[in-house]
Amino acid sequence: MPNAVEPPSESPDRLAAAYELLADGGAAPLAGGTDLMVQLTGELGEPPDRIVDIWRVDELRGIGTAGGTLSIGALTTYTDLRRSPDVARHAPALAGAAATIGAAQIQNRGTIGGNVINASPAGDTLPVLLAMDATMVLGSAGGERRVAAGEFWTGYRATARRPEELLVRVEIPIRDHRQVRFRKIGTRRAQAISKVVVALAWTADGPDAPWSDVRLALGSVAATTVRARGAESVLEGARPTMDTADAAVAALTAVLEPIDDVRSTAEYRRLVAGRVLHRLIREEGSW
């Protein structure tokens, strides 16, 4: 059994100091540690040589709205997301996703930034962020840059982040009349890694009005979180009828090539993704 390693670590309390410690690109930031501490054993690949503990950097915390954007600091925990009135108002599906992650211990310590950067295809916030057209704000000593969620996850556990960068915050555009629905399928209601995650977003003027700006994002069905553009085109401009739902499910399952792994078979994932999509389209929303 590999030994637990204790890489040298530093614990800055200012963002500028954290950037300085990360500048050579050789250290891994440590946020809540709920993914990284597991990696330190060496059982899941090469552990990092050096760690920079960013937990005390309060500049990476906080949730707020300004200029039509909901801004969520990278160190925001799932418990923070669940308790935030701004998230409840502008991104309730994100609070819903946070509520399905781990159990209370993980929700108190795990952060949205860690979920985004860890880039697991089973990361539960990722489909919601993709469906809501979120932007990732990355920072380093050289300044900040922004990357759209659609370009952020570049492959299996790979992101557009450069080694010297921190994820500073996630920005979600606030849109009138937008609905977002989320569903996670796992083995249990708590402490379950997802078999299928689906997030569906659209705007409409009422329950029977035609949909626009449709975004359908899925997790745990491919190497990374993906959008299902064929099903989106079926839903764009359509009303949420039974026929529309049938056609969208057909478009989704025709192209979906889920992974077969220890948690589930590809066939189960394809079937369930279709059933979940059907329900999300037909579900009564709160208008």
What DSSP state is assigned to residue 3? P
Q: Which is nearer to ligand FAD, 12 or 123 (CB)?
A: 123
CA neighbor of 220 nearest in space, from 187, 173, 179 = 187
Q: Which is nearer to ligand FAD, 152 or 211 (CB)?
A: 152
What DSSP state is assigned to residue 89? H
Q: Which is nearer to ligand FAD, 131 or 249 (CB)?
A: 131
CB of 174 vs ligand FAD, minimal distance in Å: 23
Q: Which is nearer to ligand FAD, 81 or 180 (CB)?
A: 81
CB of 38 vs ligand FAD, minimal distance in Å: 6
Given a contact cutoff of 8 angstroms between Cβ atoms, the answer to whether 164 and 24 are in contact is yes
Residues 6+ apart with CB under 8 A from 103: 190, 191
- Output the DSSP codes for 50-81: EEEE-TT-GGG--EEEETTEEEEETT-BHHHH
CB of 52 vs ligand FAD, minimal distance in Å: 9
Given a contact cutoff of 8 angstroms between Cβ atoms, the answer to whether 48 and 7 are in contact is yes
CB of 134 vs ligand FAD, minimal distance in Å: 15
Sheet holding 196-203, edge to edge: 178-185, 196-203, 212-219, 226-227
Q: Which is nearer to ligand FAD, 113 or 240 (CB)?
A: 113
CB of 66 vs ligand FAD, minimal distance in Å: 20
Contacts with ligand FAD, residue ranges (CB under 6 A) = 28-36, 38, 74, 101-102, 106, 109-111, 113-115, 117-118, 123-124, 166-167, 191, 193
